[in-house]
Structure 1
Amino acid sequence: MSVAESGEFGLIARITARLGAQPSTILGPGDDAAIVAVPDGRVVASTDVLVEGRHFRRDWSSALDVGHRAAAANLADIAAMGAVPNALLVAFCGPPDLDVRWAEELTDGLAAEAERAGAAVVGGDISASPVLTVAVTALGDLRGREPVLRSGARAGDTVALAGRIGYAAAGYTVLSRGFRTPKALVEAYRRPAVPYSAGPAAAELGATSMIDVSDGLLADAGHVASASRVVLDIDRDAFAIPEQMRDAAAALGVDPYSWILTGGDDHALLATFPPGVEPPELFQIIGSVSEGSGVTVDGKPYGDGPLGWEHFR
């Protein structure tokens, strides 16, 4: 059955039947708007969009994968503010001849990733479109803490990272060359493994700045450096190259550090911590903050190409 044969309201019924709820969900799908409890009184919000052919390919990723990825891209931004995610709103646009099962599996992926982060899909919208598009808005709760901004890094801070890095970029390269292995790299591209709990944990310990690494480690470190008016220096030797990544890089003729330093879509969390503060367990120290401006690797500007992904470039 296609989504056209299911009909707008039939598709909505199929989608909402697959969704769960969280304690913060006062009113979920089915009315003009959802109602979400935010005890802190401040709502953290972020939105992102995935467009077929630009952000995903159906011959590379299942609908379930796309759902996980669409949710993770937004939920990671909430965690990067030091907040706890609690709700997702999803806008789905697809061609009329799309198999309705694709939309159902997309919903399952969205709901599963939201649940992993402690959130729920509480509403959204659907529309016909020649281009398959998924737009997600995530909401979160600070739970009494101050938000962790990009602008708080200070000279003397340490730079730390939580989550895997370089895996998604390596997986993208593998897929773009026509291969489907190593599985660990390909699966990392298809579904991020976001360390959601690391964001609030970093905030609790006094992280001075934090950012979701979506466009590349150096690019996003550069955003922190620019906002904080400091230098973030990344220690290349802090990263051990996993065996599968090293083997894939050798086979494809790629420097594996280019994946680690400039590859995006892993959605790791990059944070800075004041002197004397040991980062939470999920974080690994990868550099330092000093006076000046910009981002460096081992004390020098990175001279091997772009620092990460940039739309319209």
Structure 2
Amino acid sequence: MKNFATDLQHKIDTKTKPIGSLGVLETIAFKIGNIQQTTAPVLSKPAILIFAGDHGIVNAEPVSPFPQEVTTQMVFNFLQGGAAINVFCKQNNIDLKIIDAGVNFDFNNVPNLINAKINKGTKNYSIEPAMSIDDCNKAILKGKEIVTKQFSEGTNVIGFGEMGIGNTSSAALLMSLITKLPIKNCVGKGTGFSPEGVRAKKAILKKAKNNHQQTEDPMEILAIFGGYEIAMMVGAFLQAAKLNMVILVDGFIVTSALLVAQAIDKTILNNCIFSHCSNEQGHFKMLEFLKADTVLNLGLRLGEGTGVALVYPIVQAAVNFLNQMANFESAEVTNTKY
């Protein structure tokens, strides 16, 4: 029986080009072909799901220069088409869905907003767990359901984004617990803190971490320090991999959800393409932990799934060259013997 990976690599290598000359595009083509187990992969109805949620610590501790109501305001901005992610999704023909995972606001059936609210924000994890294990499980299940619905509509390539004032703090704590790195290596400036603000944030998060009994159970870690939007993304990752979708991974906060998801099921990483390296300092260390290479490095630290939307045309180009470019034989071009 022939080795499938050998056939796929042969198809890539015999295109009318020097071997390896398309660089990362060849790596992406090989990855997607392996995910779909075909030498002629197809990308269908790309989608980005943005999960929004609030964090109880924001109203108690100065972990963000922005007030909590900005989460709600940005959800409305997404729905009105005014955010960076809207612009990039429109440019690249990507379906964008906005999900209320746990925003501290009553949206009351706002059109085009998917209502998956578990609670109106998490609790303040500096003094108690952010959510119960039961609510954490509910959020994960919701994430799975939403991805399943998207898959049923024909999507086989998907990415996730997030909105939640304070969620870089949750991401830093999840990162610290999963990777075993100290908090000081996981905390960055988030939405734009000054150096003094970053120092204060590190101290607050170190104290919050020490206020809870240490555990290595990823579900317990997620319940103690996560957000509803992060927990939903954990479920979304798990289900997207189960459905064998191509998963495009965004920046710092989304990767914190992936850290938890891969602690539950390591095989998820087989379906992941890492879009970019965020300018948030912890993201590089997350990627090191996951042994992951990124396609882009644009100095982004916005979130929202913007890295996914920007990398999609490159991923599309990788599939297109594999499917449409001539090989030496069909083009009657002499191939090298060396």
TM-score normalized by the length of structure 2: 0.27
Structure having the higher helix fraction is: 2
TM-score normalized by the length of structure 1: 0.28
Structure having the higher strand fraction is: 1
Q: Which has the higher contact order (CA 8 A, sep 6+)?
A: 2
